[in-house]
Amino acid sequence: KNQVEQSPQSLIILEGKNCTLQCNYTVSPFSNLRWYKQDTGRGPVSLTIMTFSENTKSNGRYTATLDADTKQSSLHITASQLSDSASYICVVILYGNNRLAFGKGNQVVVIP
Amino acid sequence: DTAVSQTPKYLVTQMGNDKSIKCEQNLGHDTMYWYKQDSKKFLKIMFSYNNKELIINETVPNRFSPKSPDKAHLNLHINSLELGDSAVYFCASSHSGGSGGGELFFGEGSRLTVL
């Protein structure tokens, strides 16, 4: 079983609407949790990095939250734009050896 | 002024051939990685080098041989290519150390298709 599970696997939303992506993890202890955006045909790009003691981190219209007690994180996209169409990957970094545990990504498609 | 650059971007080759993918970073990072992304978009670590030393080798077949001539370069050579090697290969780099390690910067990927 993967240590990082993301849901929904894919999502279609109308331009201008908000959406929330979920990431549940079993990795423990962990150093930090990251969200990456991967456009089609491109490499992943970092959106947010949160340490285990942080609850929320924003990057423009992207807001990530973290609940270390329930081992859940979410990425909220506000007022979606066509350019938000991408895969969003949740990554948890293991404490100590800094190994990365990747989720399979949430595929978001924004339609006009 | 690309941070992490890899070549070629596309590679189509026959089964059994040997091919190489090159990666260079100009960020001054001391750690470089190779990841494989399969058709299901799942990223899996293959190798990690820190200051030219191999630190992670994730049970990758020995047909795959990474080479790091210096801290800024990490090349991937693949012998006797198989159909299952078809994937997108991503190079990445970061600073090591610190809690959680440094931020990871990815290249644009090299799509390998084995026929």
Mean pLDDT in each 10-residue stretch from start to end of chain B (115 residues)? 90 97 95 91 89 82 92 95 96 78 90 96
Report the alpha-carbon distance of residue A90 to residue B102 in Å, rounded.
16
- CA distance to partner chain B, nearest, from residue A4 (Å): 11
At A98 the pLDDT is 75
At B9 the pLDDT is 96
Q: What is the pLDDT of residues A2-42, one digit of tens each?
A: 699 999 999 999 999 999 999 999 988 888 999 999 999 99
Residues of B in contact with A95 (CB under 8 A): 99-100
Report the alpha-carbon distance of residue B52 to residue A55 in Å, rounded.
36
At B93 the pLDDT is 94
Best mutation site among A3, A53, A66, A100 for testing chain B: the one with the most B CBs within 10 Å? A100
* Closest in A43, A49, A95 to B106, CB measured: A43
Sign of CA dihedral B4, A27, A6, B85: positive
Sorted by sequence, the CB contacts under 8 Å of residue A102 that are 6+ apart come out as: A4, A89, A90, A91, B42, B43, B44
DSSP state of B62: T
Write out the two tokens for A31.
Answer: 């150093």
A43 in contact with chain B, both atoms CB, cutoff 8 A: yes
Q: What is the pLDDT of residues A42-91, one digit of tens each?
A: 999 999 999 988 999 999 999 999 999 999 999 999 999 999 999 999 99
Sorted by sequence, the CB contacts under 8 Å of residue A70 that are 6+ apart come out as: none
At A78 the pLDDT is 98
Report the alpha-carbon distance of residue B104 to residue B25 in Å, rounded.
12
Contact between A36 and B105 (Cβ < 8 Å): no
At B63 the pLDDT is 95
Contact between B10 and B19 (Cβ < 8 Å): no
Q: What is the pLDDT of residues A61-70, one digit of tens each?
A: 999 999 999 9
